[in-house]
Chain A
Amino acid sequence: MVNRTKKLLLKTAAVIIENKEYLTELDAAIGDGDHGINLARGFKKLKEKLEKENFEGRDELFKLTAMTLISNVGGASGPLYGTAFLNISKVISDNKLDLDDLVEIAEESIAGIQKRGKAEAGEKTMLDTIIPAAESLKHSRANKVDLETALNNCLEKAAEGMKSTIEMQATKGRASYLGERSIGHQDPGATSSYLMIKTFIKSYLN
């Protein structure tokens, strides 16, 4: 279990590093053009630490991820993702990972991001990817959908959520200064969140 999670986090780091330029380009359109650079710096550091150390539990892995991102990413995405991973470390267990756990993880991530960023859905932020993904998981749980289908649905909703930011006007973060000019661009934070969710789900399904 612990090794699988470690692999998952290493894969996430690889995906973010691969997409450094893409995320940076999205950010240059409506922000200050450093989202990819900052996240890649944090995840590169995380990769080094993950490769060097051994871990007892999944909570330790997520706590290390949180602290590494908080102290290496900077900007807004460092505290936001850092607090999300810190919250995940508080609820994740080593025994099982079923739909109940996934819903809890999703809700805790959202709570962490909202505590720092004070944003709601529809403000053109990472939450516009994560909230629909979480809602989809809750819906699947309520309807007793099997885990594989639930994860596929969740990924689909996350992608829709990310794309929905194109038409949104930003009211939080640096893109909010652009007013209507922020419309027509996909949010870089929503995109990096999608890349992470996609990596988690694809790894899980394999």
Chain B
Amino acid sequence: MGKKLINDPDNVVQEMIEGIVMASSQRLEKLDSYNIVVRKDAPVEKVGLVSGGGSGHEPAHAGYVGQGMLDAAVAGDVFTSPTPDAVFEAIKTVDSGNGVLLIIKNYTGDIMNFEMAAEMAEAEGIEVDQVVVNDDVAVEDSLYTTGRRGVAGTVFVHKIAGAKAAQGADLKEVKRSAEKVIKNVRTKGMAINPCQLPAAEKSTFSLEEDEMEMGIGIHGEPGTEKTKLKNVDQIVELLLADILSDLEVEAEEKVALMINGMGGTPLMELYIANRKANQLLKSKEIEIYKTYVGEFMTSLEMEGLSITILKLDDDLINLLEAESEINLL
């Protein structure tokens, strides 16, 4: 069993949420008896934005609660969707009468629990709608799978939908902006070392010294293939090739680029990856409007990275640049 800086595996999420709120006590608070982070000034007179999911992906999602992004983040246990009663509590807290948009990552459990919560909220007369983020090109979207997973691209949905809601747009318009991001964002990840759940005795998967897993998910769930370890330039080339063949970015189009660390990857390595990604995109004459390097959607201490590309137009650029309490860069 690997070492961890924790007290009791059963209390990691609650203790983390308390720590997050204490770090931003002027603007955030925790709801009593739930692992939910909300804006202190909730409900704000606008469309409410609620996201959430399993814990272990920090800063997602509690780190994105603030003016210009989310109104509440619901934290489930590690890698486990939060329960319907918790999501319902978050919806009730942020609803100002203008409706609430749920931003859900595409996992069977998340969808079931958020849908049950939406049913509860609708029964109380709260207008609720939802978007499902599915940016991971590693898994095929076909009849034979649950569809693509939602990964780091979700952060762009938080940002764009958050900016739109802050401008006073209605629920339909905010949803449309979120869906526009989902349509134009793609991600692929990989790992060289797995992560271990605080309550489990073993790692979620195993890799030999000279192996890597391409297409890894953010729960340490196996990726698409195990292969011999390559150098980071070659890895970036493989990841970008899959993303670009799926997203179909033309020369001279503008994109946002995100190099996301999985939790255990040194920034040094992320910057080396970014160097190659920038070179490759430039060689294809794709204009990088903005680059984000850091940890946005992690997987505990997993060593690995993901690359996200968001195709931009003027509308998305304006929303991406909108003011927010949360600085992504």
Contact = CB atoms under 8 A, between A and B. Distances in A.
Contacts of B205: 28
Contacts of B221: 31-32, 174, 177
Interface residues of B, number: 41
A37 B83 contact: no
6 contacts: A24-B200, A31-B221, A34-B197, A38-B77, A41-B10, A172-B146
A177 B197 contact: no
A116 B203 CA distance: 30
Given A174-B108, A177-B146, A79 B200 contact: no
Interface in B213-230: 217, 219-222, 224
Interface of B: 10, 54, 76-86, 107-109, 112-113, 116, 138-140, 143-146, 149, 197, 199-205, 217, 219-222, 224
A117 interface: yes
Contact of A33 (B81, B108, B144, B197): B197
B145 A176 contact: yes
B84 A33 contact: no
Contact of B78 (A34, A71, A176): A34
A80 interface: yes
A173 interface: yes
Using C-beta atoms within 8 Å of the partner chain, give the interface range for chain A.
Answer: 35 or more
- Judged by DSSP, the binding face of B is loop
A177 B139 contact: yes
Given A172-B108, A174-B146, 8 more contacts: A33-B197, A72-B83, A74-B77, A75-B81, A116-B112, A176-B146, A177-B149, A179-B145
A79 B200 CA distance: 22
Contacts of A176: 144-146
Interface in A1-42: 21, 24-25, 28, 30-34, 37-38, 41
Contacts, number: 112
Given A33-B197, A116-B112, A177-B145, A25 B202 contact: yes
A86 to B, nearest CB: 11
- Judged by DSSP, the binding face of A is helix
Interface in A69-89: 70-80
A181 interface: yes
A174 B84 CA distance: 20
A33 B201 CA distance: 10
Nearest to A44: B10
A33 to B, nearest CB: 5
Contacts of B220: 32-33
A70 to B, nearest CB: 6
Contact of A70 (B84, B203, B217): B84
Contact of A74 (B109, B139, B140, B224): B109
A18 to B, nearest CB: 15
A110 B139 CA distance: 29
Closest 3 CB pairs of A and B: A76-B109, A32-B219, A75-B109
A123 to B, nearest CB: 9
Interface string A174-196: 10111101000000000000000
A114 interface: no
A106 to B, nearest CB: 21
A28 B109 contact: no
B81 A74 contact: yes
A181 B143 CA distance: 17
Given A174-B146, A177-B146, A73 B83 contact: yes
Nearest to A38: B80
A177 B225 CA distance: 11
A117 B115 CA distance: 12
B200 A28 contact: yes
